[in-house]
Amino acid sequence: MKKIVFCLLLVPIFSYSQDYVDLFKFGYGETFNNDFENTSPSTHLEFLEADISLPLVLNEKNVFVTGGSFSFNRIQLFPNMEYTNLYSTALKVGLATTFNSKWSTTIVLLPKIASDYNTISSDDFYMGGYGVLKLKKRENLIYRFGLYATSEAFGFYATPIFGWYYLSPDKKFEMDVSLPIAVDVNYNMGSTTVGIDYFGIGRSYNINQENQPKTYVDQSSLEFSGYFQWNTFQKSILLRAKAGYATSNNDVYADGDNIDFGLAAFNFGDDRVQLNPDISGGIFLKFEAIYRLQISSKKKDPSEM
């Protein structure tokens, strides 16, 4: 029930707005005072994320979507034990197509390698992908309908996607929603922006430690935060400071102890035995830097493709 899926690679595609596209995003943060259930020790989580998107225009109707992402997490999985480093490196390859002035699609494959990177093997490779159908209702309102599916260390998972992008006529109030993955609501005051957001993360990592049984981490977290953003270099470089609360589920299971199927927030056939204590959520701080390409309204917007 606590599984919320999210692939970091989806964010730049979903964040294509009417007037811009985010080509690069970097984030670093920490959560604090995460307690182990029924034990006195507490821990914290350190994380780093980077994503690059390189859309290549093929013709009037088609854009080749490429890029990649990298994430790093440093987490203590068991009380009174050393911290574990978890890595994920992913590639995105796909095609965005415009059918007419209202309808467009984006289909992307998302292969990745996710583990502690102590010993990388074919078991650390996972294949995912998503498709999104977009309806441009008005110049300042776009609806999204889609599906994301992936293989993970715990089994196969899929989730439907519904959302919209809205920009007020004065271009100050913005809503960028892709449920159940992300929500961003903000107000632009020129050189600065204030906003609130939600971010649902779901990943898995193989653990390959010498002389230890093979295990994996089923990581899921919900982040709720407010942020203050500085818009620099004609709003092409954004510097964002965030603070909020994040649940921090990093459950360890034996290799092969899988679910039958996962759909949205539900796991079917989930009789797994968790090996580590539950880890509570906590306050987190995060810094983000974004490189944003402003798009002239006279040119075609990759978000419509």
Residue 1 lies in a domain: no
Residue 4 lies in a domain: no
Residue 238 lies in a domain: yes
Q: Tell me which residues of the chain have a pLDDT lower than 70.
A: 1-19, 296-305
Whole-number pLDDT of residue 302: 40
CA distance 233 to 206: 41
Share in percent of the chain as helix, strand, coil (round to 5): 5, 65, 30
Q: Note down the domain range covering 111.
A: 10-304
Residue 196 lies in a domain: yes
Whole-number pLDDT of residue 28: 98
Cis bond leading into 180, ω under 30°?
yes
Residue 231 lies in a domain: yes
CA distance 218 to 231: 36
Whole-number pLDDT of residue 296: 56
- Kindly state the tokens that stand for 66: 């490429």
- Kindly state the tokens that stand for 233: 């270099």
Beta strands per DSSP E along 36-100: 42-53, 56-57, 62-75, 84-98
Whole-number pLDDT of residue 187: 98
CA distance 39 to 183: 34
Counting other chains too, the contacts that 123-128 makes at CB distance below 8 Å and 24 or more residues apart are 123/206, 124/206, 124/208, 126/150, 126/151, 126/152, 126/153, 126/204, 127/151, 128/7
CA distance 290 to 285: 17
- Kindly state the tokens that stand for 183: 């929500």
- Kindly state the tokens that stand for 157: 């998972």
Work out the angle at residue 108's Cα, subtended by the Cα atoms of residues 106 and 114, and round it to the nearest 5 degrees.
Answer: 150
Residue 5 lies in a domain: no
Residue 31 lies in a domain: yes
**How distant, in Å, are the alpha carbons of 51, 109, 291 from that of 70?**
7, 16, 16
Tally of domains within the chain: 1
pLDDT in tens, 130-150: 999 999 999 899 999 999 999
Helix (H, G, I), strand (E, B), or coil: what is residue 302?
Answer: helix
Is 273 in contact with 259 (CB distance < 8 Å)? no
Residue 3 lies in a domain: no
Whole-number pLDDT of residue 72: 97
CA distance 39 to 168: 49
